Chains A and B, each alone.
Chain A
Amino acid sequence: MSSASNHEIHVDNSLSGLILKHTEVPVQKCYQCGKCSAGCPVVNEMDYPPSLLLRMLQTGTPEMEEKVLRSYSIWLCLSCEQCISRCPMEIDIPKMMDYLRQVSYKKKMVNPKAKDIVRFHKAFLDSIKNTGRLYEIGLTLDFKLRSMNLMQDLTTAPSMIAKGKLGLFPEMIKGTKHMAKIFAKTTGLKSEDEK
């Protein structure tokens, strides 16, 4: 028989403990109903479905935790929020995914299949850091160079320009210095070094 203490959730140094500490997401509460995986739009492309990631984290073993941080799943997650809206235990999986991505990136454990996704995010953030608003042509070119997907969207971009859907020049906000400060304070001034 389970005692009450079995249901208490401890903050320890395991990855699930850190998730609880930093995001308040109680990984241990998952009882494997599988609703998150059933509703996930990209589950077929993932290496581990969301419910399995939770189970792996529950084991608390270093091997499993490493697999989670090196997984493709955490980067493929679209943050569409379907899982949390159907979870009977209200476990905020998208919030957990955000945290796992950040740890995986910091520890340089990004899955090789997810490199383009990370390149895109970095190109996006660099674009808004400099001008305050997204400069779509700049982002597209920057991403092409970073990912070497030079041929991608070669036909889409000219039609977008013809339809007036791409601004040719970046829009600068007045508060660009303010933006730079926000980026410096949150990213520690190190946005150029990890390209």
Chain B
Amino acid sequence: MKLGIYPGCSLTGSARDYNESVFAIAEACDIQLEQVPDWNCCGATAAHNMNKELSLALPARILAQAEKVGMTDIVIPCAACYSRLMVTQHELNNDPVLKNRVSEIIEMDFKGTTAILNVVQMIDKYVTPVLKDKIVKNFSHKVACYYGCLMVRPYKVLQYDQHEDPQGMDNVIRLLGGTAIDWGYKVECCGAGLTMSKTEIVGMLSGKIVKDATRRGAQAIIVACPMCHSNLDMRRPAINEYTKEKMDIPVLYITDAIGMALGIDEKKLGLQRHFVPVKMAEYIPPVPEPKKPKAKEPINNL
């Protein structure tokens, strides 16, 4: 089956590994991913911080490019791009005047009818149904699924999962034979857009996340966003400076976990590109002891 994809800039550079694992699992599950023709950057944090019209026009051009070739469904693996395109489509569909103005700016028709999927929605829709027959090796690891901000918020626009305790990735991990832990930093912010300009703040925010996952015995952190990945993985020196101890928990994309369970070559998934080496022992959850039937208590007749 065919599906449109908007990779976004990160996936062509610093998150090439994410791109590789998304395409690898798509191929394994017979999904043909076709890029939105001549796509541009969504503008990210910079555009909506500095200029409202620009922050709407850039995503609108991307969506209009998809509409032009009749692409009705697109997957957006980057949570930040996903958020920008979802917010733009929502705002323009709710404000006809603004919609006209933005159409004028981009000199293209913009209908606002594209179905936008984040990577977990793509997995739920197209990968999960065929997963059972394709798993060659259970992903037997205890992991902390980290959703961050933009995959679940703002809830009113995205309407995806529970915004305080999302379960989408946790469910995928369980299907793969893994264990997903309960923890406190599932939807906290990693510092995202400040990674270059305020690295020490990113070290603190990401440090809290990495520390909590480690403290609760997770063997890896699972993410679905290139910003989250680069902050938790590549910013490990800043993180270690904050935590005052060396954290060596690896950070995997959810697509890496699926790829590993499907037996896809690690190089094809791009695992060698992660900064923190991906090494995890097998984890078999303890089987809870069966409850003994309670002995009948003597009836007190007083």
Contact = CB atoms under 8 A, between A and B. Distances in A.
A80 B196 contact: no
B191 A78 contact: yes
A120 interface: yes
B197 A79 contact: no
Interface in A3-62: 41-42, 45
Interface in B196-211: 196-199, 201, 205
Contacts of B52: 98-99, 102
A157 B12 CA distance: 16
Contacts of A125: 43, 46-47, 50-51, 54
A182 B205 contact: no
Contacts of A119: 197
Contacts of A121: 45-46, 49-50
Given A80-B153, A85-B163, A173-B40, A41 B54 contact: no
A152 B16 contact: no
Interface in A149-194: 152-153, 155-156, 159-160, 163-167, 171, 173-175, 178-179, 181-183, 185-187
Main SS class of interface, A: helix
A42 B49 CA distance: 17
A171 B188 contact: no
Contacts of B48: 79, 98
Interface of B: 9-10, 12-17, 38-41, 43-55, 57-58, 61, 105-107, 149-150, 153-156, 163-164, 187-189, 191-194, 196-199, 201, 205, 234, 237, 272-273, 275
Interface of A: 41-42, 45, 75-76, 78-82, 84-85, 90, 92, 94, 98-99, 101-102, 105, 116-117, 119-122, 124-125, 128, 132-134, 136, 140, 143, 147, 152-153, 155-156, 159-160, 163-167, 171, 173-175, 178-179, 181-183, 185-187
8 contacts: A78-B194, A79-B149, A79-B193, A92-B154, A125-B47, A175-B38, A182-B105, A186-B57
